[in-house]
Amino acid sequence: MRSMVREPDVHDSGSINWKVLRKLSPYLLEYRTRVFVALALLVGAKLAGVGMPLLLKAIVDAMDPSVVGGSAVFNLVAVPVALLVGYGALRFFNVALAELRDTIFSRVTERAQRRVGLEVFSHLYNLDMDFHLSRRTGGLSRDIERGTRGINFILRFGLFNIVPTLFEVALVAVVLLVTYSWLYAAIALVSVVLYVGFSVFATEWRTRFVREANLLDSRANTRAVDALLNYETVKYFGNEAYEAGLYDRSLSSWERAKLKNRFSLGLLNSGQALIVAGGVTAMMWLAASEVSNGTRSLGDLVAVNAFMIQLFIPLNMLGFVYRELKAALADIDTLFGLLAQRPQITDRPSARDLPSGEHCIEFRHLYFSYQPDRPILQDVSFSVGSGEKVALVGYSGSGKSTLARLLFRFYDVDQGAVLVDGIDVRDWSQHSLRREIGVVPQDTVLFNDSLLHNLRYGQPEASDEQVRAAVQFAQLDGFIERLPKGWHTEVGERGLKLSGGEKQRVAIARVLLKQPGILVFDEATSSLDSTAERAITEAMRRLSRDHTTLVIAHRLSTVADADRIVVLDAGRVVEQGTHTALLALGGRYAELWRAQQAEAQEAAAERSGAEQQAAGIEASGRR
C-alpha cells in the first residue's frame, strides 16, 4: 500500500512534546550572539521591574510625616529628587530594554520562520506523486501556516514570557524573604503554585476543545478550497447551494466547538482571578496589620501591593501562554512531521546526470500497480528510437498514461525497467531526467498569473525574442495580438480564462522553450474540437520532427503518421506496427479504427442534417 496523508486526530494525548525545541535549536544557534544579548537585556528589564516597588516604598516613606517628621508640604519638597528620577528611569528601562530585546531577537525569529517555511516548501516538491494525490490542499496549507506561526510564538512568547516569569517569581520571593519575612515569601509562592497548578490543570482539561476547533477549522477550510478549485464542476451541476450547505455544516460543527472553547476559557479566567484576588488579599492583610501596629511603614504596604500586582501581571497570561505553547509545539511538530515524510522516489547514490540531446527509450518487461490487488501494466515491452515518433493507443484504463508517469519517474516500476539511452532511469538523477522530458498534458493547468509568466515557465531565463519565437511556432501570436494587454493578460485560476486550444498552444510554446530531448504528448488533443485539434496536431507534428516523441492518443487519426503504433489492452501490449500494417492485420487496432470512423461519419451526418434543417427553415421564412 502506498503512502497516505494522516489527518490530525482530535483524541491525541495532547502532552507537550519538548523534543520539538531540540529541532528548533539549530536555527537559534545560528545567531547565538543575538540570543545572548537578548537574554541579557531580558535580565536587565526584570531587575529594573523588581527595583520599582522598592523605590516606590522609599518615595512613599519619604513623604510620610510619621516616618521622617515635619509637615507634609515640607516632606513633599524634601523628597529626594534622585528617588523620583530613579523611579522614572527604572520604569523607562523596564520597557525600553524589553523593546530593544524584541528588536534584536526579531532577526532570529523571522529568519527561523523563513528557513523552516522554505525548507518545508522545497521538501513538499521532493515528495512522491502518491503524497500529493492523497493530500488535502486546504488542510496542508493550514498546517504550514500554523507551524510557522507556532515558531514565532515559541521564540517570542515561550522564550521571553515563561522563562522571564519564572525568573521574576524567584527574584520577588527572594526580595520578600530578605526585606520582609518568610510569611510574605510563603504567601507569594503558595499563590503562584496554586495559580500555575490550576492553570495547567484547567488548560489540560480544555485543550481537547481547542484541538477539536482547530481540526474542524482545517476541515472547513479544506471543504472551501476544494469547492473553489472545482468552481466549474459546481457550476456545471448547479450545486452552489449544495456546496454552501456542506460548508455551512462544517462551519456549524466548528461553531459548536468554539462555543465550548469560549465557555471553558471563561472558567479558566474566573478561577485564575479568584486565586489572584485571594493571594493579594492575604498579602495586603498581613502588611496592613503590621502597618497598624507600627512594625511596617506605609511604604511597605504600597511596595507589597506593587510586588503582588507585578508578579501576577505576567502570570495572568500563563493559561493563554501554556495553551498556546502546547498548540504551538504541536503545530511545529506537525510541520516537522512534513519534513520527516520520506519520498518513495529518490536518487540512487551513484545516479548520474542525463546529458542533453536526442535519446532513445525502452520499456522492458514492465509490471506495475498502484494498489497490490489492481495490476495496471503486465509484461509491457517496446522501444522508442532516437528521433522516432511512437504512439500509444488503447481503451481508457489500459495503462497508457501510467507509462508516461513511469518514464517521468513519478513512480518506480514493480518489476522490469524503463531505460533511457540504455540505462535504467533510476540510475539517472531525477532533475536531469525530467529536464530532458517535455510534457504536453491532456488538461494544461496554468498559474493564476500573466500569459507571459506561464509561457516563460518552460525556461524562466528565456529572452523576449525566444518567447516570441515559441509563440509564433505554437500559432499563438495572432491570439495574443488581439488581447488588450497582450501577453501581460491574466489567465485566471488554473488558466480558466483561456479556451482548451489556447491552453494547449501555451503548453506547446513553453515545452519548446524548455528544449527537451524527449517529448510526451499525453492525449493533448482529446478534449479539443476538430478545428483546434487539427491546429494542435499540426503544431505537434512540427515539434516532433527533431525529437524522440511518445504520443498517447485516444483519437487514432492524430497518430496515423507515427513511425510505430503500440496498442495496449488491459495493461498488455497486444499489437505493434505502422498504421497501414495494423489495419492490414485486422486486429484490435483495426477494430478501434473502424469504431472511430463510424463515430466520425455518424457525427458528420448529424451535422449535415442539422445544417440542412436550418437551411430549410430559413428558406421557408423567406417564402
Which residues fall within 8 angstroms of residue 430, CB to CB, at 6 or more apart? 345, 347, 351, 409
Residue 613 domain-assigned (yes or no): no
Determine the pLDDT at residue 15.
54
Give per-residue pLDDT as tens, 278-320. Answer: 888 888 888 888 878 877 777 777 777 777 777 777 776 666 6
Distance CA 591, CA 306 (A): 94
Question: Interhelix angle for 19-29 vs 32-63, to 10°?
Answer: 100
CATH classification of the domain holding 559? 3.40.50.300
Q: What is the tens place of the pLDDT at every residue in 84-98?
A: 676 677 777 777 877
Do both 249 and 104 map to the same domain?
yes
Whether 354 is covered by a domain: the verdict is no
Classify strands 518-522 and 361-371 as parallel, antiparallel or unpaired. Answer: unpaired
* Single residue among 340, 369, 403 that ends a domain in this structure: 340
Does one domain contain both 299 and 388? no
Tracing cell 488581447 back to the chain, one arrives at 483
The most confident of 230-239, 528-537, 577-586, by mean pLDDT: 577-586
pLDDT exceeds 80 at position 434: yes
Residue 236 has pLDDT above 90, yes or no: no
Quick check: 363 pLDDT over 90? yes
CA dihedral 210→211→212→215, nearest 10 degrees, is 120
Q: What is the pLDDT of residue 622?
A: 54
pLDDT for 468 = 87
324/422 same-domain check: no
- Whether the pLDDT of residue 338 is over 70: the answer is yes
Task: Return the C-alpha cell found at 181.
Answer: 519575612
The x, y and z cell numbers of residue 158, run together, are: 515561550
Residue with cell 454552501: 244
Per residue in 515-524, pLDDT (tens digit) is 888 988 887 6
pLDDT attached to residue 8: 37
Q: What b/e string do you get for 47-86 counting C-beta neighbours within 10 Å, with b at 16 or more? A: bbbbbbbbbbbbbbbbbeeeeeeeeeeebeeebeeebeeb
Instruction: Please indicate, yes or no, whether residues 131 and 98 belong to a single structural domain of this protein.
Output: yes
- Based on its alpha-carbon atoms, the radius of gyration of the chain, rounded to whole angstroms, reads 37
Average pLDDT over residues 525-532: 64
Task: Assess whether 383 and 285 both reside in one domain.
Answer: no
- Indicate whether 110 belongs to any domain: yes
Gap between the Cα atoms of 212 and 256, Å rounded:
10
Out of 254-258, 409-413, 427-431, 619-623, least confident range: 619-623
**Tell me, what's the pLDDT at 507?**
85
The closest of 178, 563, 184, 171 to 361, measured between CA atoms, is 563
Contact status, residue 596 vs residue 556, Cβ threshold 8 Å = yes
Whether residue 266 lies inside any domain: the answer is yes
Whether 41 is in a domain gets the answer yes
Q: C-alpha grid cell for residue 205?
A: 482539561
Q: Residue 147 and residue 31: Cα distance in Å, rounded?
A: 21
Grid coordinates representing 291? 502597618
Residues 331 and 375 grouped into a single domain: no
DSSP 490: B
Does 38 have pLDDT greater than 80? no
Say if residue 379 is in the same domain as residue 278: no
Question: How far apart, in whole angstroms, are the C-alpha atoms of residue 466 and residue 460?
Answer: 11
**Strands 564-569, 572-577: pairing kind:** antiparallel
Confidence of residue 129 (pLDDT cuts 50, 70, 90): low
Identify the residue with better confidence: 261 or 582: 582
Mean pLDDT of 235-261: 83
Q: Are 196 and 281 in contact (CB under 8 A)?
A: no
pLDDT at 380: 92
Pairing, β 548-552 against β 389-394? parallel
Per the prediction, the chain carries an average pLDDT of: 78
Least confident range from 73-82, 203-212, 343-352: namely: 73-82
Phi first, then psi: what are they for 425, rounded to 5°? -60, -20
**Residues 276 and 205 occupy one common structural domain:** yes
Q: How many residues does the chain have?
A: 623
Mean pLDDT of 262-278: 83
Asked whether 582 and 590 are in contact (CB, 8 A), the reply is: yes
Average pLDDT over residues 335-345: 78
The pLDDT value recorded for residue 423 is 92
Predicted local confidence at residue 603, as pLDDT: 62
Q: What percent of the chain has pLDDT over 70?
A: 83
Instruction: Output the pLDDT for position 207.
Output: 72
User: pLDDT tens-digit profile of 455-500?
Assistant: 888 888 888 888 888 888 888 888 888 888 888 888 877 777 788 7
- Domain membership of residue 447 (yes or no) is no
In terms of phi and psi (left: phi > 0; alpha: psi -120 to 50; beta: otherwise), the region of 14 is left
Given a cut of 60, is residue 621 above it in pLDDT? no
**Number of domains the chain is built from:** 2
Residues spanned by the domain of 168: 19-340
pLDDT reading at 69 higher than 60: no
CATH number at residue 296: 1.20.1560.10
324 and 431 inside one domain: no
Quote the pLDDT of residue 65. 57
Q: How many Cα neighbours within 13 Å face the side chain of 481?
A: 7
Number of Cβ within 10 Å of residue 13's Cβ equals 8
* pLDDT tens by residue, 167-198: 777 777 788 887 878 888 888 888 888 888 88
For the whole model, what pTM was predicted?
0.63
330 with 365, same domain: the answer is no
Q: How far is CA 350 from CA 127, 427, 432, in A?
A: 20, 7, 14
Residue 31 lies in a domain: yes
Instruction: Kindly state whether residues 366 and 238 are assigned to the same domain.
Output: no
Would you say residue 611 has pLDDT above 70?
Answer: no
Cell of 343: 519520498
Has residue 542 been placed in a domain? yes
- pLDDT band per the 50, 70, 90 thresholds, residue 424: very high
Q: Where is the domain boundary, 290, 311, 340?
A: 340
> Same domain for 305 and 388?
no
